[in-house]
Chains A and B, each alone.
Chain A
Amino acid sequence: MKMKERKWTLIIFVIILIAYILPYTLFTNVTKWYGSFLLWTVLALITIMVNYLITKDWGKEE
């Protein structure tokens, strides 16, 4: 595995840990739209951004 990939793996791993942990701890009593609903939505958007960054140069190195 290349160094760059290790970095991205770690970042995605942290995002997913947050997605499992926060809704069941910090946000478990926040009965608002800006609780778990917003958190998961934002984490998904960040993941999409990360995927964009990982794949940015695909096809250029062929």
Chain B
Amino acid sequence: MSTSLVWIAIAIYVILAIVIAVISRTGKQNNMVSYFLGDRKMNGFVSALSYSATTYSAFMLVGLAGLTYNGGVGALGFELIYLMGVSLVAFFGPRFWKVGKKFGYVTPSEMLGDRYQNKTVAVIIAISNCIFLIPYSAVQLSGVGYLIQGVTNNAIPFSTGVIIATVLALVFSYVAGIRSVVWTDSLQALFMIVTSTIVVIILIKGLGGFTGFFGTLETDFPEYLTVPGNGFFSFLNFLGLSLPWFFFSLSNPQVSQRLFMPSSLKSLKNMLLGFLIFGFVYTIVAVIWGYSALMMFPNLDNADLATPLVLQSELVPPILGVIVMVGIMAAAISTIDSILLTLSSLFARDVYGNMNKSASDYTQLRVGKIVIPIIAVLAFLFAQMEVNLIAVLSVSSSAGLLVVVPAIIGAFFWRNGTAAGVISSVVVSGIIVIIIEFTQIKPLGLASGIWGILMSTFLYITISLLTKAPKEKAKEFLSI
């Protein structure tokens, strides 16, 4: 792929996205709800696209395609089980939305702090979210680095790609807060689903149509159509990968915060259904993509390079290849800018806001805006530590976020949950996840996410039973 073509495509994307970001500047933007939640007035269609863009990052066409390349159909199962997990929104979405509106919450951690009547809960969850989401953003940034390096045969080095992505994410979240994020996200999501679907149709045609495509798989790579198949997706591995993602829609604040934003329950419904359809199509596209790479380039050492190679292959017209490449870059950016914005709202609202009791809403907003670039720089530094398999690190961060899930479920469904239960479950299980990830030991063969959720559930329940629950607030949440 020619370097000048890549640069031209990046330039067009940057100009287009910045124009959209600037146009999106409506509303006063001078308070937390306006800047971080779009005044709770988001419509369903844009929310669905933006939810999709935030969830689906560079991971899909790089990491998931890579997982398919390495392990076969298990990658499809893993991603579709995640999609099924988004059904949680059908149960928790209206609850988040109603309490958000009723009590004026800006962040999910603020909600939990109020629910358990303890500010430390909010502070600890906010900090734990930051600890795990900054690596997750870094994964996205390095995804961009690999991709651009790959498609230009090292003409644009890894670090240049990472810098471009960091700067753009920063700009999109700064220009108009959530509004610029949501509109640039929507542009990216629409663009991506259309172009990548076209590429996949071309690939299937080029590889012999539906019958030829699956025929080749069935004869040359039969183990890629089953699990455990070649062994990559042993059951325990599969469970360890998919379980943290199953709860993604609750555990990840950049998406659970979205539940506060829709203008009505109807918008929330459209957001959920729109996302599920988008996710379904995109998952199939990414998996077929990985299979195509497997058929065209069966012996790669690094599966993350499968996608750049497909984009450069003779089957894909160069212009389309470049467009999708920029689309993948934009996908990473649309995930990072949402995370940047969410993390800065967490810091401003829950950490700063609780430590300085006199901090006004306006001061919190100012602090939030200062924190955005700081988090971006941290993610940038993390991304410089090149990691091998993008998916693995990405899943580790969701394993770490998973430990908050019992506290979230309990907030709406269990009247006996207490602050002590939440704090112990989040802190102790969070540390256990970090230890397992660092040492790479798997006690009893179980991955960090499984240990995390088991420990946090156990601690949340037992410690809660030993302490006194805030009955009044519990009642309000349970009856919402």
Which residues of A does B touch, CB under 8 Å?
Answer: 1, 5, 8-9, 12, 15-16, 19-20, 23-24, 27-33, 35-37, 40-41, 43-45, 47-48, 50-52, 54-55, 58-59, 61-62
Beta-carbon nearest neighbor of A55 in chain B: B269
Provide the bound-state CA to CA distance between A23 and B238, in Å.
11
Cβ–Cβ < 8 Å partners of B284 in chain A:
41
- CB–CB B87/A47 < 8 A: yes
- CB–CB B91/A33 < 8 A: no
- CB–CB A43/B80 < 8 A: yes
Cβ–Cβ < 8 Å partners of B273 in chain A:
48, 51-52, 55
- With A1-B413, A41-B284 in contact, is A23–B227 under 8 Å at CB? yes
Cβ–Cβ < 8 Å partners of A54 in chain B:
87, 90-91
Cβ–Cβ < 8 Å partners of B94 in chain A:
58
14 contacts between A and B (CB under 8 A): A8-B91, A23-B77, A27-B226, A32-B218, A40-B81, A43-B80, A44-B84, A47-B276, A48-B273, A50-B87, A54-B87, A55-B90, A58-B94, A59-B265
Q: Which of A32, A33, A35, A51 contacts B90 (CB 8 A)?
A: A51
Query: Which among B73, B238, B246 has the greatest number of chain A C-beta atoms within 10 A?
Result: B73
Cβ–Cβ < 8 Å partners of B264 in chain A:
59, 62
Which residues of B does A touch, CB under 8 Å?
Answer: 73-74, 76-77, 80-81, 83-84, 87, 90-91, 94, 214, 217-218, 222-223, 225-228, 235, 238-239, 246, 264-269, 272-273, 276-277, 280, 283-284, 413
Interface of A is mostly: helix
- With A1-B413, A62-B265 in contact, is A33–B223 under 8 Å at CB? no
- With A19-B77, A31-B218, A37-B76 in contact, is A51–B272 under 8 Å at CB? yes
Q: Which of A15, A40, A45, A61 contacts B77 (CB 8 A)?
A: A40
- With A23-B227, A55-B272 in contact, is A36–B73 under 8 Å at CB? yes
- CB–CB A20/B81 < 8 A: yes
- CB–CB B73/A41 < 8 A: no
- With A55-B269, A55-B272, A58-B266 in contact, is A43–B218 under 8 Å at CB? no
User: Known pairs A36-B73, A48-B276. 12 more at Cβ < 8 A?
Assistant: A1-B413, A8-B91, A12-B87, A16-B84, A23-B74, A32-B214, A32-B225, A36-B77, A37-B73, A43-B80, A44-B280, A51-B272
Q: Which of B227, B265, B277 contacts A28 (CB 8 A)?
A: B227
Provide the bound-state CA to CA distance between A55 and B239, in Å.
29
Provide the bound-state CA to CA distance between A58 and B269, in Å.
7
- CB–CB B225/A31 < 8 A: yes
Beta-carbon nearest neighbor of A61 in chain B: B265
Q: Which of A9, A35, A59 contacts B269 (CB 8 A)?
A: A59
Closest 8 CB pairs of A and B: A59-B266, A31-B222, A33-B214, A55-B269, A58-B269, A44-B80, A58-B265, A59-B265
